[in-house]
Amino acid sequence: MPEVFKALEEASYGHQHSYGKDEYTARAVEDFRKIFGEGTEVFFVYNGTGANIVALSAFMRPYHAVICAETAHINVDECGAIEKQSGCKLLTVPTFNGKLTVGLIENHMHGFGDQHHAQPKMVSLTQCTELGTVYTKEELREICDYAHEHGMLVHMDGARLGNAVAHLGCEPREITRDVGIDVLSFGGTKNGMMFGEAVLFFNTEPVKEVAFVRKQAMQLHSKSRFIAVQFSTVLKEDLWLRGAAHANRMAQKLATEAENIPGVRVTQVVEANEVFAIIPREKIKVLQEKCFFYVWDEHASEVRWVCSFDTTESDVIEFVNLLREELC
């Protein structure tokens, strides 16, 4: 976002203490606490994979296991980082829409106390999910209550949390701390920032050890102010939420227009800023050369289109016209 570049420039003047002892970091921590409540502990890191490693490793021992959706970013897109860095095991669950339920989690609720089995310790949820779907407050509360009743904890990968908040029209705290989430990976780079993420601990039991976990995971930034000032900027006056809401609207428009084109089938309900669609396989490379996007499921010829804070209606129309030109 332009506001982020301006803030980075302003923060580059003068001298500040390093490793989070600067005034910008202190200010950003307070900004988070205004949103998520006093007592929230905040640790800044470089990237999303690092955030998830720090969040999970703070609670886990190598003989523990994390239950997650088969499509979870920690399982599919982090090159085995969680298992390598924390030593714990991922227990994956197939889903139709990327969302876990208590019933699905129950499939892995066994082997407790058996020294031959990795011990389920955490449930990891992605909000929005990797398929662009959104957990409701009720769904989150049910999962958190179930996990806590069984002595487990809940992590939320909130790389796109802003899109979920915008979709639900709620306060950020309502779908995180208030429903029982123990630790949140809060996305920065998918909310208009240049770099940086944050790990928010609502369950502060392991906090005294987190600084060591972060350092060992190579996620401690010496010039912390350059991450912190970006967060203060996007959190100010709900800039992150306004950008997310706009991206959601553009994705809705794209899905609505694309569904009317023969050969396009939208495969997931569009609740955030991502559109998943099946298109003719032979047309994918032709379209990618003119407007890049990722292939989500190569076997099914399913692709993913993503809108951002600066996607315009003319961008959507131009892409839809390109689809019509190539597919019709």
Rounded Cα distance, 155 and 54, in Å: 11
DSSP state of 294: E
Here the tokens at position 11 are 């923060």
Tell me, what's the pLDDT at 72? 97
State the Rg of the chain over Cα. Answer: 20
How many CA atoms lie within 13 Å of 193's alpha carbon, on the beta-carbon side? 29
Please classify residue 96 by burial: count the beta carbons closer than 10 Å to its beta carbon, then call 0-12 exposed, 13-18 middle and 19+ buried: exposed
What's the full length of the chain, in residues? 328
Q: Which pLDDT tens digits describe the chain residue by residue (328 residues)? A: 999 999 999 999 999 999 999 999 999 999 999 999 999 999 999 999 999 999 999 999 999 999 999 999 999 999 999 999 999 999 999 999 999 999 999 999 999 999 999 999 999 999 999 999 999 999 999 999 999 999 999 999 999 999 999 999 999 999 999 999 999 999 999 999 999 999 999 999 999 999 999 999 999 999 999 999 999 999 999 999 999 999 999 999 999 999 999 999 999 999 999 999 999 999 999 999 999 999 999 999 999 999 999 999 999 999 999 999 999 8
CA distance 253 to 250: 5
pLDDT at 328: 83
Collapsed DSSP state (helix, strand, coil) of residue 201 = strand
